[in-house]
Amino acid sequence: MKGILNKISKRIVSTMSESDIEKISDRDTSVLSLAGEVRKVSVNITENTSVVKNLIDEIENSANNNLSISEKLTEEISTISTKAEEMNSSIKEIEKFTSFIAEKALETSLYTEVISDKSKKIKDEALKSIQNSKQVVEKVRLELNEAIKDSKEVEKIYDFSSDIIRITKQTNLLALNASIEAARAGEAGKGFTVVAGEVRKLAEESEKIVKNMNVIINNVSSSVKRLNQCSYEAINYLSGIINDDCDKLVNVCNEYDNDAINFKNIMNKVTNSTEEISTSIEGLTEVIDGVSSTINKSSNNVTEMSFDILNTVDKVYKVKERMDEDIECVQKLHYLIKEF
């Protein structure tokens, strides 16, 4: 190609004047100078293109790394979102369970109030019944005292029997004297003798009857004394049992009442605790919902960023292809300039 250009230039020179040749020579010098400048520019373009290509390679690598990181981040966000959903589900179960506990605690608290009311009623009824029993025992005690006083009237029979025995002895003595006097009187006193004998028999029989009565009275008196003693012991025993049972029953009722009150207080504390737990769970649920919302937004942002990175990588590839084309053009231009 260079030889052809030389031949053409010689023909052109042979047909031109000196002034034309000088002008062409000046222009040729300018063209050569311009070609040198173009050569320098092409070299700079080639060097800058290499630098830009290296930068594009770095951008491509960074974009690929960012894409890999965004994919891993998306996976992590998905895992966190799944864990948050599982945690939210567990918290709902806990909330349901605490609500169940609070409901049962309230029912138990109400039931303890019923138990407390029943124990108070039992206590009042027991005290009333025991008071009635005490009144009955006291009434029996008074009546027994009166009966004991009345039983002492038996002792008066001793006095009567003693008087009867004394009278029978005197009667017997009078009958004996009458018999003696009747014997002295002879036939005239026979009637007196018979009467005196009958009177003596009557006095002796009366004495025997009185003695038998004394035996019976002694037995009755002993029985009455034993009955009085047993009655006193029975009343004292009943009084002691009633008082002891009263105290025990009152103590048991008080213990039931206190236990019911304590249990109610415990259930109230449980209810308050479950309410606090429910409040905390509500706050935690709100936080988790907020975290889930943030995670979803972050996931969407990461997804958008991934698409942007993919678009960037695609554009970088296109720029790289254009740069390769530009480098090829510059190289061709550089070769053409060398021809001059």
Residue 311 token pair: 């678009």
In tens digits, the chain (340 residues) has pLDDT values of: 444 444 444 544 455 445 554 555 554 555 556 556 656 656 666 666 666 667 667 766 766 676 676 677 677 767 776 776 777 777 777 777 777 777 777 777 777 777 777 777 877 777 777 777 778 777 877 877 777 676 666 667 667 777 777 777 777 777 777 777 767 766 666 666 676 677 777 777 777 777 777 777 777 777 777 777 777 777 777 677 767 776 777 777 777 777 777 777 777 777 777 777 777 767 767 766 766 676 667 666 666 666 666 676 666 667 667 666 666 666 666 666 555 5
What is the domain range of residue 55?
Answer: 2-339
Note the pTM of the prediction, 2 decimals: 0.42
Residue 172 token pair: 């017997």
The total domain count for the chain is 1
Angle between helical axes of 190-339 and 18-151 (0-180°, round to 10): 180
CATH number for the domain that contains residue 163: 1.10.287.950
- Give the count of beta carbons closer than 10 Å to the beta carbon of residue 112: 20
In the chain, DSSP finds a helix count (H) and a strand count (E) of 4, 0
